[in-house]
Amino acid sequence: MVTSAISDADLRQRAWAAAAQVVDPEIPVLTIADLGVLRNVAVHDGHVEVAITPTYSGCPAMNMIALEIAVALEREGIQRPRVRTVLSPAWTTDWMSEDGRRKLKEYGIAPPLPGSSRRALFGEQMVACPQCGSTETELLSEFGSTSCKALWRCKSCREPFDYFKCH
Amino acid sequence: MAAANIVVSETPLVLYALRRGDDALILGHRLSEWCGHAPAMEEDMALANMGLDLLGQARELYAYAAKVEGKDNDEDKFAYLRHVRQYRNLLLVEQPNGDFARTMVRQFFYAAFADLYWRAMMASADPTLAAIAAKSEKESAYHLRHTSEWIVRLGDGTEESHRRAQTAIDDLWAFTGEMFAVDGSERGLIDAGIATDPAVLQPRWLKTVTGVVNEATLSLPTSSWMQQGGRSGRHSEHLGHLLSELQSLQRTFPGATW
């Protein structure tokens, strides 16, 4: 029926808007829409299903994000939403929005270098300091406070900073 | 009681997912044993983070094994309620951590394989395995880079770090052949395009490993004798001890949740 089709589209839009507001619990300036973790919102017979994808296989934030989505949708009056995890296509830092990159930088985390996800076994990376912009930086630790970050230091302003790893 | 060992119907696809899931779980558990003990704070985070990636891969593979099997089993039961002979992981990944050099060499041998293996598995005819492979491949590539740098640092470092890295290579070498072995159960999956043939990857693995080991001024053993058994449940004495810790809570308080 036409009316039901319209309300399904409306419901989908409301559900997307609510889910898109959910922030990453470990990088609270980024929403899951900025990150590209929010993949899809579908409506089947009036039931909403949200699809999310993990950044890293073991990312412990996924359970929290799924819970927050359910709460956000319930608050919006959407009852018993389902949250599903999808693995394919695999998440990449290239999906991070421009807005997301800007917000990350303002927060003090160097955004991932675009389009550089492929390895070079002993490759050099040039990461600009999110504080002063200098490219005189060095890697301190390939692994940081969360799965998605590495620890760097700026040799110009001497500040240590997080770098969102390319993936 | 919930603590009884589960029965698993090991069809080729279930067995396949369990073997790869067990590799990831056991190696990830070994890495987690370093938590709070690593030689530097940065490396403590690195080892725990690599362990976390592997744990995530294990969960996906176990969840898929449970789905394919279609019985009452799930990822937790596969991890907590199988006894040592029901585990199907490589002997390499269950070897004790030893010193830092030994842990790094073990991780390097595995990551150099996993990097190639999961990249090839992205072309699997099984969409779930292809999706798991696409995530695991990126993580393995990062682990390979990290461990390669350490092999060079250790081998080309001090006399002591060189000696320890070389001893680890010599001791663990005999466990590397099992990564490339194929049995009848897996052969059918390879023929069907579901699994990739690991034997085909062996020359490329050797090239990567040789390159890094040479740069590190270390050398690979010339012995070609290889120990196998893990894939069919014949393990070294170390796995039982590992499982007694990994499973202790579920064995003591059956069905406990929080």
Q: What is B64-131 written as a DSSP string?
A: HHHHHHTSS--HHHHHHS--GGG----HHHHS---SHHHHHHHHHHHHHHHHHHHHHHTT-SSHHHHH
Task: Say what percent of chain B tops pLDDT 90.
Answer: 95
**Separation in Å, CA of A15 to nearest CA in chain B:** 26
* Residue ranges making up the domain that contains A103: 93-164
Nearest to A147 among B52, B57, B130 (CB): B52
For residue B243, report the phi and psi dihedrals to the nearest 5 degrees.
Answer: -65, -35
Task: Give A41-71 pLDDT, tens digit per residue.
Answer: 999 988 999 999 998 888 888 889 999 999 9
Does A148 fall in a domain?
yes
Return d(Cα B185, Cα B42) in angstroms, integer: 42
- Alpha-carbon torsion (A62, A63, A64, A69), positive or negative: positive
Q: Please indicate, yes or no, whether residues A131 and A156 belong to a single structural domain of this protein.
A: yes
Residues A123 and A147 in one domain: yes
**Out of A58, A60, A88, whose CB is closest to B131?**
A88
pTM score, whole prediction: 0.90
194-213 in chain B: CB under 8 A from chain A: 208, 212
Distance CA(A155)–CA(A136), nearest Å, equals 5
Chain B closest-CA separation from residue A1 CA (Å): 35
Return the CATH number at A40: 3.30.300.130
Q: Residues B226-252: what's their mean pLDDT?
A: 96
For the stretch A23-42, pLDDT in tens is: 999 889 999 999 999 999 99
Tokens of B51: 């362990």
**B135/A57 CB distance under 8 A:** yes
Q: Quick check: A121 and B46 CB within 8 A?
A: no
Per CB-CB distance under 8 Å, the chain B contacts of A167 are 138, 142
- For the cut 90, the answer to whether the pLDDT of residue A7 exceeds it is no
- Within a domain: residue A3? no
Residue A14 has pLDDT above 70, yes or no: yes
Is the bond preceding A89 in cis, omega lying within 30 degrees of 0? yes
Q: How far is A165 from chain B (nearest CA, A)?
A: 10
The size of chain A, in residues, is 167
Residue A143 has pLDDT above 70, yes or no: yes
Q: Residue B40, SS3?
A: coil
| pLDDT tens per residue across span B18-65 | 999 999 999 999 999 999 999 998 899 999 999 999 999 999 999 999
For chain A, say whether B124 makes contact (Cβ under 8 Å).
no
Residues of A in contact with B43 (CB under 8 A): 141
Q: Could you tell me if the ipTM is greater than 0.95?
A: no
Domain count, chain A: 2
| A130 falls within a domain | yes
CA distance B41 to B48: 11
Question: Is A2 contained in some domain?
Answer: no
Report whether CATH 1.20.1260.10 matches the domain B12-252: yes
B250–chain A Cβ distance below 8 A for any pair: no
> How far is the C-alpha of B206 from the C-alpha of B209, rounded, in Å?
5
Instruction: Give the whole-angstrom CA distance, residue A134 versus residue B113.
Output: 37
Domain boundary among A60, A85, A110: A85
The verdict on residue A102 lying in a domain is yes
Residue A150 lies in a domain: yes
Confidence check: pLDDT of B160 > 60: yes
For chains A and B, count residue pairs whose Cβ atoms are closer than 8 Å: 83
B121 near A CB under 8 A:
no
Cα distance between residue A88 and residue A54, in whole Å: 10
Domain boundary at A85, A104, A123, which? A85
The 8-class DSSP code of residue B175 comes to G
Residues of A in contact with B53 (CB under 8 A): 56-58, 147
CB B36 within 8 A of CB B44: yes
Cβ contact (<8 Å) for A119 and B141? yes
C-alpha torsion angle, residues B204, B209, B210, B213 (rounded to 10):
170
Beta carbons of B59 and A141 less than 8 Å apart: no
Q: Round to whole Å and give the CA distance between B204 and A28.
A: 42
Q: Which residues of A touch B208 (CB under 8 A)?
A: 121
Which of A59, A85, A111 is the endpoint of a domain? A85
Interface of A with B (CB under 8 A): 54, 56-60, 86-91, 117, 119, 121-122, 140-145, 147, 151, 165, 167
**Annotated domain spans of chain B:** 12-252
**How far is the alpha carbon of B234 from chain A, nearest alpha carbon, in Å?**
28
